[in-house]
Amino acid sequence: MQISYEETLNDVKTVCFQAALLYTNSEGERRIRVHTICLPVTGSLPEIMHAADTEAIISLLAKMAVDRSITSNLSDARDAFINATVDILNAFKIAQNLPAGQTGQLIVPRSLALLPMYILALLKHPAFRIGTSTRLDDRVHAMDCMKTLPLDQLMKYIYPQFYHLDVLFYNVQNSNDDDEEEELPNVPRLQLSAEFLDSRSMFLLDCGLLIILYIGLNVPSKILENTLGIKSTAELPDYVYGLPNVNSSENESLKQFILKLNDEKPYQPVVQIIRDTSTAKPQFIEKLVDDRSESSLSYYEFLQHIRTQVK
């Protein structure tokens, strides 16, 4: 949320915010729940910039963009994303007394290093992207999610978490079968780019509301049989939902990894399985937002575009 204040804060060291919810429980008792937070006050802009919360900023900008899309138009909302990013980076440049003009690189505080990445992901999201490929129902649903999802789920909805799963399966094959209590290996997380795809591997995309399991064309038949109960990707229909039950260590490891991802989610997401040659593949590819598409910039190109806008 945004706040405004009328009095000066020059002599104040901390400010307190309090929110109260009055409700009636299932037994008819009136209850009140109170949340209080105290925050320090500073007159130093650099200090504020270095303590900025990128996820909170992105969440607020997304909600404001939904409102602007409804009251004005989608182009204004998209422009607002760019303007907010440029304004923040200009403010940091002024706060640090950096020289005007191009410096050859984009200078941002560490706390806001991922801000341009999230902004680009918003611009490519069904809620705000341009073009005729987005159905109105999908856009309205996406906007509703922008306004209502919890912060941690919203960030995955905007910028999904991308995992390479090979370590799950090959670790199982090489481990001691008697060690049932062995912890899951550290599954590497990747940037959202097709350059990391390998036709011999399986990948997982955690989008918060949806988990996509992407199956490469040349995944070994033994892995396919032990994880999905099939011998070839040709056995998979174009649209498959839900993870099959297979009596194997590989299938169990995959289930445990998905359970770990879902541990803090308010509800279980849908699991969709997409093979490399499926007609559903574009649904997976469009979420690799670091890459260039026909109507949008790659992450590197977007950074260069922002750099030219910073004075």
pLDDT of residue 9: 85
Domains and CATH numbers, the chain: 14-44 (no CATH), 46-158+300-309 (1.20.120.730), 161-285 (3.40.20.10)
Supply the pTM of this predicted model: 0.88
Which has more confidence, 132 or 15? 15
Contacts of 76 (CB under 8 A, 6+ apart): 68, 69
Report whether 184 contacts 168 (CB < 8 A): yes
Average pLDDT score over the chain: 90
CA–CA separation, 216 and 201 (whole Å): 5
**Residue-level pLDDT at 172:** 59
Give the C-alpha distances (Å, rounded to integers) separating 256 from 94, 127, 168, 262: 49, 32, 10, 10
What is the per-residue pLDDT across 20-44, written as a single tens digit (0 to 9) for each? 999 999 999 999 999 999 999 988 8
pLDDT at 34: 97
The mean pLDDT of 97-110, rounded to a whole number, is 74
CA distances from 67 to 62, 71, 87 (A): 9, 6, 20
Q: Please tell me whether residue 277 adopts helix, strand or coil conformation.
A: coil
- For 233-285, how does the pLDDT look when each residue is reduced to its tens digit (9 = 90+)? 989 999 999 999 999 999 999 999 999 999 988 888 999 999 999 999 999 99
